[in-house]
Structure 1
Amino acid sequence: MGSGFVIHGKKILTNAHVVADHTFVLVRKHGSPTKYRAEVQAVGHECDLAILVVENEEFWKGMNFLELGDIPFLQEAVAVVGYPQGGDNISVTKGVVSRVEPTQYVHGASQLMAIQIDAAINPGNSGGPAIMGTKVAGVAFQNLSGAENIGYIIPVPVIKHFINGVEESGKYVGFCSMGLSCQPTENVQLRKHFGMCPEMTGVLVSKINPLSDAHSVLKKDDIILAFDGVPIANDGTVPFRNRERITFDHLVSMKKPNETASVRLLRGGEEHEFCITLRPLQPLVPVHQFDKLPSYYIFAGLVFVPLTQPYLHEYGEEWYNTSPRRLCERALREQPKKAAQQLIILSQVLMDDINAGYERLAELQVKKVNGIEIDNLKHLCQLVGNCSSESLRFDLDEDRVIALNYQSAKVATSRILKRHRIPAAMSSDLSAEQNISESESASSS
């Protein structure tokens, strides 16, 4: 259960977490007993927003859309409208804006601008509008656990970025990133070491994502002085409205995909100006897996899966401390070296005579198949399927090795699947790709 509101173009705006993993969505108007079928047109899990459409014209009779306003100033009052705790009658809660800053969006684990208000936002409120005057100031979406009466709303710039992206491309386009990890330069000695004059301010580049456009332009130890002409302070913030400051990541995230930005930097004591193309970047280990089934591949009882953060979350609330240390470190820190790269792990061993003794190797990363480094699960699948030698070898983390007689392992696979009542040796996303590649090779031959 959640709340939503009508925006221009006969669309309903709500939170992504309200419709995540949906199979069937029904909506009803305030004061009406009738429920109407809705289709989810677009979902942005990073910004926790979704657009629904209702085909039934009867639903739209007497409906007016709400207009989007501006970011409210501190101490301005907003009214959060919705259905907290799934009640049948509408609820209006008043709150005052206490802070505007980039905040962790819990649902998509992304860092985007949010407005903090001193009104409680409860389950069911999610997706409801925060009204200021006659216009929408934001969308209610989360509260601060452990604190009383602190709620968060998604501000209009983030909402507009999401809606415009969907209108222009027909689907969710994501939020841009430069792929940088930066260090503040608040220490005087650090600034002197990199040749910064007393009047210069900026941040130190410490890491660059190999898949970003910045990787071919910027270098480690560059000092970024300004982004699109806006000077960056030593703590990584830029001016925002009336004597407020915000991290420069906000300027980056508000860019459209494939838009360019000018970056002024200091390198070896000299100033340079570069143009960098910005686009959304995917982490090596996905942060969420909404609206899709997990990928897997089973061979000889060995269950291979791509490492994802939801996989680590299965270790419970304290997953950071209870999940395998090495996998956890890689999930949070390692960067992709090539497009479509995945970290593949042996998640479990379905016991059989053929794999006896290998069960202790579960939860180790798989590095190579027959000496070839694997890129992703599809690649592992192909290497196993195309094995032409008598023996099949997997090289794992910690220099562990699994060796199998290839023909015996193929026979064992169907036996093990039958025993465990598993209908297929691989997930539907891999089997669909394999069928396509097999039909392609058949047509070329």
Structure 2
Amino acid sequence: MLVRNLRALVPRGFLSSPHSYNVRSNPVTMAGRVVRNLFAILNVGNNDRSTVKKKQNGRMKTKETCPVGLLKNSVVKVFFASRDYSRTRPWETHTERCYGTGFAISGKRILTNAHVVEVLNEHTSVHVKKRGSTIKYKAKVQKIAHECDLAILEIDSQEFWKGMNPLELGGIPPLKKAVFVLGYSGNRIWITKGLVSSFETKKYLHSDTELLRIQIDATIKNGNSGGPVILENKVVGVAYEGSQIQSSLIPTPIVKRFITGDEESDQQAVFCSLGLSYQSIKNAQIRNHFKMSSEMTGILINKINLWSGAYGILKKNDIILAIDGVPIANDATVPFWESERISFNYLISMKKPGETSMIKVLRRGKEHEYNINLKPVKPHVRVQQYYKRPSYYIFGGFVFVPNHNLSESEEQHVIISEILEDDINQGYESFKDLQVEKVNKVKVKNLRHLFELIEENGTQNLSIDLEDDKVLVLNYESAKKADSIILKRHNITSAISNDLTGSSN
């Protein structure tokens, strides 16, 4: 560096031309400049090394004293493997493998997301691995609630729990506060920093249940699901969903409700719902129509579900003014925390099943109060399927199954999920995925009803009406003969799932 910078010793222009700078004109000034430049060059190395050393010391100090980093030993990698049943070819299974994150809580338990260990059947395998370890410990799913996307694991190994400290659950983090997400991506734990951006009640993607969630302005990595979100050494949420610009956290009030909730079984919901549909009444004209005074605010009931605790008590077109003394605004919100507002559903969801809420309503211009017995949220149809072998019925090479993507209604829609090719079904190739509506002019209620209608037919021709006015005609005896060949060709042991024959699973 000294050689490269020798030219810097001499003021600019001194070496370029004998006419450009006259050294005799001011020898003192020239000497001073040379000396100053020489000292500057000699100190460059020392300054650089000093700066680097300061930066290294700063990083070392941050690494040693960072409270979030010290919590890594309480975070584990969760491995999940299962053979799940195909929904279109229900006699087949496929292997699913994934991983996520979990962390230690009190009582020698691991908390993670339900979707990390979602498919629970006789083929499921769950293991966990500690930070820095190569050993996978077998884990058991002790409790799971798909409604809030949480699960608790138990590990029956004293060796696993050595040096494993439970993390403490905190409260709700303030808006704009920095939080840290700890989670596995690959074989290492990543720490992602984000600011709390909002609180809201939204449907959880995993179960379609509307519960409180927190948004942060950070993108969590694949594998971070189930990881703790830390503020001041305490857990303020569990990571469960992310996008390119923000991520969602399950807040600790939901976590605590799940952990301490009194459940009759490990799969029952622990959150409540009024079980009704409603609309906001921000428009002044509709408020006048329902005889609301200028001081009144609330929501309009559109429909009450049969399973609701409010069924037969509250009525359509009632205006809900308040819940347990808390007024509901015309936009369906109630006061929450730090001057924030949130959907009134939060007040109901955090109640225990069987508890009551005092509902104040306006009905035909008069106020009434009713104690409503609260019911647990109704499990989403997709959640219920996690614990069932799929039903199916094969006839004429057509595979009939329930449509699991449809609603929770009493009637079960049936579709053709697959067509196992054979001469018997030639020309019907385009009927795949169509819904079955009738058999010999009789409306099909569910898969079992379809099975009974066909099997009771005997030797007659069958006319099956499908959606879009398509018609499928099969001869019963010919279809049965073809089925025996089709089953052997595809190595299918039975044309009927066990639940339709009355056999146990």
Fold similarity call, TM over 0.5: yes
Q: Which residue of 2 is the match for residue 265 of structure 1?
A: 361
How far 1:389 sits from its partner (Å)?
7.1
Structure 1 residues 88-126: Cα deviation after superposition (integer angstroms, max 9, x where no partner):
3x3333333221112343333433211122333111222
- CA deviation profile, 1:219-274 (whole Å, cap 9, x unmatched): 33222222233211111111112211000122222222343333222222222323
Where structure 2 has 5 or more consecutive residues not aligned to the other structure, the ranges are 1-98
Superposition map of 1:236-385 within 5 A: 236-274=332-370, 275-282=372-379, 286=382, 289-290=385-386, 293-309=389-405, 331=406, 336=409, 338=410, 341-385=411-455
Q: 1:50 maps to what in 2?
A: 151
Match of 1:86 among 183, 186, 189: 186
Q: Are the counterparts in 2 of residues 263 and 276 from structure 1 also a CA contact under 8 Å?
A: no
Q: TM-score, normalised by structure 1?
A: 0.81
1:108–1:193 CA distance, 2 compared to 1 (3 A)? same
Out of 463, 483, 492, the position equivalent to 1:413 is: 483
Q: What residue is the counterpart of 1:181 in the other structure?
A: 277
Unaligned stretches of 5+ residues in structure 1: 310-330, 438-445
Matched, 1:70 2:165: no
Q: Which has the larger radius of gyration?
A: 2
Identity of aligned residues (%): 52
Structure 2 residue 257 is the aligned partner of structure 1 residue 143? no
Give the SS at the match of 1:99.
strand
Q: Whole-Å Cα distance in 1 between the matches of residues 459 and 312 of structure 2? A: 40
Q: Indicate the SS of the match to 1:186.
A: coil
1:394-433 → structure 2 map (5 Å cutoff): 394-428=464-498, 430=499
RMSD: 2.8
Q: Distance in 1 between matches of 2:197 and 2:316?
A: 37
CA contact (8 A) 1:239 1:245 kept: yes
Q: State the match for 2:115 in structure 1.
A: 17
CA distance in 1 between partners of 2:158 and 2:219 (Å): 35
Q: 2:229 aligns with which of 130, 152, 156?
A: 130
What whole-Å deviation, never above 9, does each CA across 1:290-315 have from its counterpart, x for those lacking one? 46554322112222111123xxxxxx
Shift of 1:186: 0.4
* Between 401-410 and 221-230, the greater mean CA deviation after superposition: 401-410
Deviation at 1:197, TM superposition (A): 1.4
1:34 aligns with 2:102: no
TM-fit CA distance, 1:347: 2.6
Where 2:171 maps in the other structure, the secondary structure is: coil
Paired residue for 2:76?
none
* Matched AA of 2:355: E
1:298 touches 1:304 (CA, 8 Å); kept in 2? Answer: yes
Which residue pairs with 1:97 in the alignment? 196
CA 1:355/1:288 → structure 2, altered by over 3 Å: closer, same or farther?
A: same
Q: Which moved more, 1:384-393 or 1:294-303?
A: 384-393
Segments of 4+ moved more than 6 angstroms: none
Contact map agreement 2:459 2:477 (CA 8 A) in 1: no
Aligned residues: 402
Q: What amino acid is the match of 2:300?
A: L
Compute the TM-score of the two structures, normalised by the length of structure 2. 0.72
Offset of 1:436 from its aligned partner? Answer: 5.0
1:137-161 Cα offsets, whole Å, 9 max, x none, are 111122233x2xx222210111122
**Cα pair distance change 1:287/1:367, threshold 3 Å:** farther
2:217 alignment counterpart = 118
Distance in 2 (alpha carbons) for counterparts of 1:135 and 1:305: 47
Question: What is the alpha-carbon distance in structure 2 between the residues aligned to residue 35 and residue 296 of structure 1?
Answer: 37
Question: Is the 8 Å Cα contact of residues 176 and 253 (structure 1) preserved in structure 2?
Answer: yes
Change (3 A) 1:21 1:218: same
* Contact 1:81 1:92 survives alignment (8 Å): yes
Do structure 1's residue 228 and structure 2's residue 324 form an aligned pair? yes
Structure 1 residues 362-418: Cα deviation after superposition (integer angstroms, max 9, x where no partner)? 333223445554443233334434445734443433454444333333333222222
Q: In the alignment, which of 183, 190, 196 is matched to residue 286 of structure 2?
A: 190
Q: Aligned residue for 2:503? A: 435
Task: Find the residue that maps to 1:435 and give its secondary structure.
Answer: coil
